[in-house]
Structure 1
Amino acid sequence: MPTTNPHNNASAAAETVGGNDDIVTEILIRVPVKPLLRFKCVSKRWLSLISDSHFSRRHHHHHHRHRTSLSGIFLRRSTPSHFQFVSLDGTHSSPPFTSLDFIAHKIKDPSLSGVKILQSCNGLLLCRSLNKSLTDQTHHYYVCNPTTKRFSTLPRLSIEGPIIIFGLSLAFDPSNSPNYQVVCVRSSAVSLYSYQIEIYSSETRAWRPCGPPFVAPFDMVFDSAVFWNEAVHWLSPSGSALCFDVDKEVVRTMPSLPGSDAWGKRRFRYFGESGGHLHLIEVCGCRTTQFKVFEMASDCSRWFVKYEVDLGSIVVAFPEIVREFLDPRDSCYYAFVIVFVVTNEEEAELLLHLPGKIISYNLRDKSFKKLCELTPYHNETRSSLQFGWLDAYQYIETLAFV
């Protein structure tokens, strides 16, 4: 009876698997993003499989069945195109990048001095060029995937006459669609406080006006938007809030935050989304370490208190955050910044910036730990606060096309 060679059997099985695109795809879908990008170099066939938009969407659904996983946070330095990276996935690997200069280098435009992040949304970044010339007020806008190092340049708005762009925001939910949209709020000729929305779609690669002009409070901050629950949300320092429903293409007001009626004196210290939740934090003055973390109801009907925070134990462990006024008999204030709220099914944490370091504070069991030391940059010192919550951007690994 002839004997079979196990090595030949294994080789034949490998050839059978390797020659079946469906089987290879099912295997590759289970591979994390970073090694998957290296696998593109294996063969032209693997490159084609991994680069397919349908594969990208299936890969996302496999790895993020519940919520998109947050890998880290980019903290913008005093030079807007350079960043400090804080890893949140338990690894200490090198950051995906420390600057966005690779965009300027690929464009090869001598007028660009760098690129600034405006917003992060589910793995994609909305960016704007920085011009060397002080007289050139025109900007180019980009949507960038920092994982794949690919980007696309947005076309200019084809509007006759002078316009003012008050803010652009990115709307991207890979669970619903592989395409993204950019929402632009620009000036309208109707009245001084009247605005017009233009929408760019990655599917059509074009801008289009959306709906009639709308009126907004004079202090609405359109350049610090948050995308949550299929809508773009804006907040004003006086407490007013609006949102734009991307699917229904309507602007509506948001519920007011409960508490003080003295809107003009309110100081919001954080407004952002994480793990499918929208949070807002108001700290009453700089002489307290106690505050509440508000969360928006899933139906966008009301704000409610999700967590109550007391950072007294952090003050004891890190006394350098206590700062005295000129008169030592006067009260002290506390030097800390809320950088980010991290929430998912497993954890709920505050990322706090203290002088010279980033701290993670567990909102459930009140424990805390130091995540990293911060290296002073240019004219910064270890005793200074280098970042605010508007300088923090999520990093989520994704194969999404731009």
Structure 2
Amino acid sequence: MLLLLWDPLPPAEAVSGNQDLITDILLRLPVKSLLRFKCVSKQWLSLISDPRFSRNYRSLASASILLCGTTELIDHVSCGRRNSEPPFTSLGFIDDSAGTKILQSCNGLMLCCSFFKMGKSCNYYICNPSTRQFLMLPPPNAKGCDESTTTLGVYLAFDPSKSPHYQVVCVRNCSSSSAAAANDHYQIEIYSSETLSWRLSGSPFSVPFDMVFDNGVFWNGTIHWISPTGASLCFDIVHEQLGEMPSLPSNEKWSKRRLRYFGESSGHLHLIEIYGSGTTQFQVFEMKKDYSSWIPKYQVDLAAIVKAFPEMVRSYPDAHDSRFCLFSILFVQENEEDSLLLLQIPGKFISYNLTHKTFKEICDFGANSTKANTSLPIGCFQAYQFIETLACV
């Protein structure tokens, strides 16, 4: 009888020869590790550099919330991340003598700009903080605008599920001597990472006198703005069309209404207004996908938080029995797992569960934490949703 002996491959060789298994393992690693592993072999370099790998990587990535005092002081609040180590703690790799600040985080890429410095123009940057890549955008070049042209807002639009390229939308007040009034001559320009250039979009347009362009939110392929008096404007980037959003169903006068939050999370557009400085009760509204109306999604009552942290209660100087609660709404985070409200109160950060009406103090930010800096004034911190990506800038 002929006896055949089978000598199985050693485990390491078995793994290295199975590209599907290698891919499955690599897709679960942080970007920092993937950048190092590109040097392992030509096979791994080719695999990690493949656009299909980048698309699959994003589909498995978990979102976190960036808590930012300055670009040199960034923490990550976990939202079920696959790795506990923060992918970055600063944006110090952007080389600008004036320093930089974050304007927007969009699907793993960030839009930043330089701080004001006498005699120096404002620079705008697109960066991928996970790969430490950044690009300084060329200045917009609107035709028909004179030296009094003012940039009112710049916004990043990046949806890797539809395109590997991103766009940047710039709103400018191109007042000219021929214009009847400054508010009759607003212009939109679009920068494309595919063409590496700016172009005009549509004709000049007018807006309400109090429209502000510093709180634009990218959602549903569209940039959205809301003015202090409730007027709204939105710009559909695909069709390059301007429109409006429906008003909130409130009977309160605008003198009593305060917009405290306007943002996007996991495909949801949220808005929070608070009526009166002393209230601890408010609703979180969500916009319907068809733009037909705002719907009340969550009812919030912070009374239990105020009771637990009485230092939130303050009084106006020289006012009789006029109290208010000091807090800042940093972020509304909504996904399949949970829905949370991230708050800053004096000296602390609070996570409020919108579904179960429970709350907890957020303490564990790791070794490079801003926890030691929670005494910074209310409003000094900003929060942004972030998800790691291999996308190039």
Q: Same fold (TM over 0.5)?
A: yes
- Partner SS for 2:46: helix
1:2, distance to aligned residue in structure 2 (A): 4.9
Question: Structure 2 CA distance, aligned partners of 1:15 and 1:344?
Answer: 36
2:119 paired residue among 113, 135, 138: 135
Q: For residues 212-251 of structure 1, what are the structure 2 equivalents within 5 Å?
A: 212-251=203-242
Question: Helix, strand or coil for the counterpart of 1:372?
Answer: coil
In structure 2, what is the equivalent of residue 273 of structure 1? Answer: 264
**Correspondence for 1:178:** 164
2:77 is matched with: 87
The one-letter code matched in structure 2 to 1:4 is: W
- Compute the displacement of 1:24 (Å): 4.5
**112-121 vs 36-45, which deviates more?**
36-45
**In structure 1, the residue corresponding to 2:215 is in which secondary structure?**
strand
Question: Structure 1 residues 43 and 235 mapped into 2: Cα distance closer, same or farther (>3 Å)?
Answer: same
Instruction: Name the residue aligned to 2:56.
Output: 58
Match of 2:151 in 1: 165
Q: Structure 1 residue 117 and structure 2 residue 102: aligned?
A: yes
TM-score by structure 2 length? 0.87
Q: Are the aligned partners of 1:169 and 1:182 in contact in 2 as well (CA < 8 Å)? A: yes
The alignment's TM-score, normalised by the length of structure 1, stands at 0.86
Q: For 1:73, what is the secondary structure of its paired residue?
A: strand
43-52 or 26-35: bigger deviation = 26-35
Q: 1:185 to 1:318 in 2, by over 3 A?
A: same
Q: Deviations over 1:150-190 (max 9, x none)?
A: 11221122345322111000111112111111000012344
Tell me if structure 2 keeps the 8 A contact 1:181–1:200. yes
Shift of 1:257: 1.3
How do residues 365-384 of structure 1 correspond to structure 2 at under 5 angstroms?
Answer: 365-372=356-363, 375=371, 377=373, 381=375, 384=377
Partners in 2 of 1:25 and 1:187 — Cα distance?
49
**Which moved further from structure 2: 291-300 or 256-265?**
256-265
Distance 1:159 1:325 in 2: 47
Cα root mean square deviation, aligned: 2.5
Which residue of the other structure, out of 182, 189, 197, is the alignment partner of 1:206?
197
Contact 1:178–1:400 (CA under 8 A) maintained in structure 2: yes
Does the Cα contact within 8 Å between 2:164 and 2:391 map onto a contact in 1?
yes
Partner of 2:130: 147
CA 1:273–1:12: 2 relative to 1, 3 Å? closer
* Aligned with residue 4 of structure 1, among 3, 6, 26: 6
- Partner amino acid for 2:157? A
Q: Output one character per residue of 1:28-66: Cα deviation in whole Å (capped at 9) or x when no partner.
A: 3454544433322322432232123332123223x16xx
What is the match of residue 254 of structure 1? 245
Superposed displacement of residue 93, structure 1: 4.3
Q: Are the aligned partners of 1:266 and 1:284 in contact in 2 as well (CA < 8 Å)?
A: yes
Deviation sequence 1:335-374 (CA, Å, 0-9, x none): 1111100101121110011111111101111011111275
**Deviations 1:124-144 (Å, cap 9, x if unpaired)?**
11011235x4132x1211111
- Secondary structure of 1:157 counterpart: coil
Cα distance in 2 for residues equivalent to 1:231 and 1:35: 34
Query: Alpha-carbon deviations, 1:222-252, whole Å to 9, x = none?
Result: 1221000110001111111110001110011
Which residue number in structure 2 is paired with residue 71 of structure 1?
64
Pairing 1:38–2:36 present? yes
1:47 corresponding residue in structure 2? 45
Question: Distance between the aligned counterparts of 1:252 and 1:322, measured in 2?
Answer: 40
Instruction: Assess, with a 3 A threshold, how the Cα gap between structure 1 residues 372 and 15 changes in structure 2: closer, same or farther.
Output: closer
For 1:187 and 1:26, the matched residues in 2 are separated by 50
- Equivalent residue letter for 2:5: T
Q: Distance in 2 between matches of 1:358 and 1:115?
A: 24
**Distance 1:264-1:213 versus aligned 2 partners, 3 A rule:** farther
Match of 1:41, SS state, is coil
Deviation (angstroms), 1:331 = 3.4
Unmatched 5+ stretches in structure 2: 365-369
The separation in 2 between residues aligned to 1:362 and 1:15, in whole angstroms, is 44
Superposed displacement of residue 201, structure 1? 0.8
Q: How far apart are residue 82 of structure 1 and its match?
A: 2.9
Amino acid at match of 2:127: C
- Residue type of the partner of 2:166? Y
Give the number of equivalent residue pairs.
377
Percent of pairs identical after alignment?
52
Q: How far, CA to CA, are the matches of 1:245 and 1:16 in structure 2?
A: 47
Return the alpha-carbon distance in structure 2 between the equivalents of residues 370 and 312 of structure 1. 15
Query: Which residue, 157, 182, 201 being the options, matches 1:192?
Result: 182
CA change 1:328–1:38 in 2 (3 A) is same
Partner residue, 2:296: 305
1:335 lines up with 2:326 in the alignment: yes
State the distance in 2 between where 1:350 and 1:11 align. Answer: 46
Question: Aligned partners of 2:208 and 2:229: how far apart in 1?
Answer: 9
